[in-house]
Chain A
Amino acid sequence: MTSPRIRIFGGRLIDPCNNVDGPFDLYIADGRVAAIGDAPDGFAADVELDATGMCVTPGLVDLCARLREPGQEHKASIDSECRAAASSGITTLCCPPDTDPVIDTPAVVELIRHRARQVGAARVVALGALTPGLRGVHLSEMAALQQAGCVGVSNAGNPLGSTLIERRAFEYAATFGLTVFLHADDAALSADGCLHEGRVSTRLGLPGIPEAAETVAVARDLALIEQTGVTAHFCRLTTRRAVRMVARAQFDGVPVTADVAIPYLYFTDVDASQFGPDYHFIPPLRTAEDRTGLLQSLRNGTLSALCSDHQPHEPDAKLAPFPATEPGASGLDSLLPLTLKLVEEGHLSLPDAIARVTCGPARILNIPCGELSVGRVADVCVFDLNGNWRLDQHTMSSRGKNTPFRGWEMRGRVRYTLRGRAPAPRDPAR
Chain B
Amino acid sequence: MSGANLQIRADGRLRHFLSIEGLDRRIFTEILDTADSFTGVAEQSVKKVPLLRGKTIVNLFFEASTRTRTTFELAAKRLSADVLNINIDVSSAVKGETLLDTLRNLQAMHVDMFVVRHSDSGTAHFIAAHALPHVSVINAGDGRHAHPTQAVLDMLTIRRNKGADFGRLTVAIVGDIAHSRVARSQIHALNLLNTGEVRVVAPRTLLPADVESLGVKVFHELREGLRDADVVMMLRLQRERMQGAMLPSEHEYFRLYGLTDEKLSMAKADVTVMHPGPINRGVEMDSQVADGPPSVILEQVAHGIAARMAVMSMAMQQNIQPQAND
Listed in ascending order, the chain A residues whose CB lies under 8 Å from chain B are: 197-199, 201-208, 210, 273-275, 316, 319-324
Contacts and interface: CB of A to CB of B under 8 A. Distances in A.
- Which secondary structure dominates where chain A touches chain B? loop
B123 interface: yes
9 tightest A-B CB contacts, nearest first: A205-B144, A205-B145, A275-B122, A202-B208, A321-B120, A321-B123, A322-B122, A205-B121, A321-B126
A206 B122 contact: yes
A279 to B, nearest CB: 12
B143 interface: yes
B121 A322 contact: yes
Contact of B209 (A208, A273, A322): A208
A204 B2 contact: yes
A206 B69 CA distance: 23
Contact of A205 (B99, B181, B213): B181
Nearest to B123: A321
A324 B90 CA distance: 11
Contacts of A274: 1-3, 125
15 contacts: A199-B213, A201-B208, A202-B211, A205-B121, A206-B145, A274-B1, A274-B125, A275-B125, A319-B98, A319-B130, A320-B100, A320-B120, A321-B125, A322-B121, A324-B99
Contacts of A198: 209-210
Contacts of A199: 209-210, 213
B118 A321 contact: yes
A198 B210 CA distance: 6
Contact of A275 (B2, B184, B208, B214): B2
A358 B148 CA distance: 51
B317 to A, nearest CB: 25
Which residue, B121, B122, B211, has most C-beta atoms of chain A within 10 A?
B122
B14 interface: no
Nearest to A316: B98
A316 B126 CA distance: 13
Given A199-B210, A208-B209, A210-B209, A324 B120 contact: yes
B174 to A, nearest CB: 18
A204 B145 contact: yes
Given A319-B100, A322-B120, A205 B184 contact: yes
A123 to B, nearest CB: 37
Interface in B124-150: 125-126, 130, 142-146
Given A316-B98, A322-B122, A201 B2 contact: no
Q: Which one of B99, B100, B123, B209 has the greatest number of beta carbons of chain A within 10 Å? A: B209
A197 B210 CA distance: 9
Contacts of B126: 275, 320-322
B240 to A, nearest CB: 13
Interface in B60-99: 98-99
B144 to A, nearest CB: 3
Contact of B143 (A202, A205, A320): A205
Interface residues of B, number: 28
B118 to A, nearest CB: 7
Given A203-B184, A206-B144, A273-B1, 11 more contacts: A205-B144, A205-B146, A274-B2, A275-B121, A316-B100, A319-B100, A321-B118, A321-B126, A321-B142, A322-B120, A322-B122
Contacts of B143: 205-206, 323
Contacts of A321: 99, 118, 120-123, 125-126, 142
A409 B309 CA distance: 47
A314 to B, nearest CB: 12
Most chain B C-beta atoms within 10 Å of own C-beta, residue among A198, A207, A210, A322: A322
Nearest to A196: B209
A259 B1 CA distance: 34
A317 to B, nearest CB: 10
B124 to A, nearest CB: 9
Contacts of B98: 316, 319-320
Interface string B1-24: 111000000000000000001000
B214 A323 contact: no
Contacts of A316: 98, 100
B253 to A, nearest CB: 22
Interface string B174-213: 0000000100100000000000000000000000111101
A27 B132 CA distance: 60
Contacts of A323: 120-122, 143
Contacts of B209: 197-199, 201-202, 208, 210
Contacts of A208: 208-209
Interface in B150-189: 181, 184
Nearest to A323: B120
A323 B123 CA distance: 9
A171 B214 CA distance: 48
B132 to A, nearest CB: 16
Contacts of B125: 274-275, 321
Contacts of A273: 1-2
Interface in B108-127: 118, 120-123, 125-126
Contacts of A197: 209
A206 B121 contact: yes
B147 to A, nearest CB: 10
Nearest to A201: B209
A206 to B, nearest CB: 5
A233 B100 CA distance: 40
Contacts of A206: 121-122, 143-145
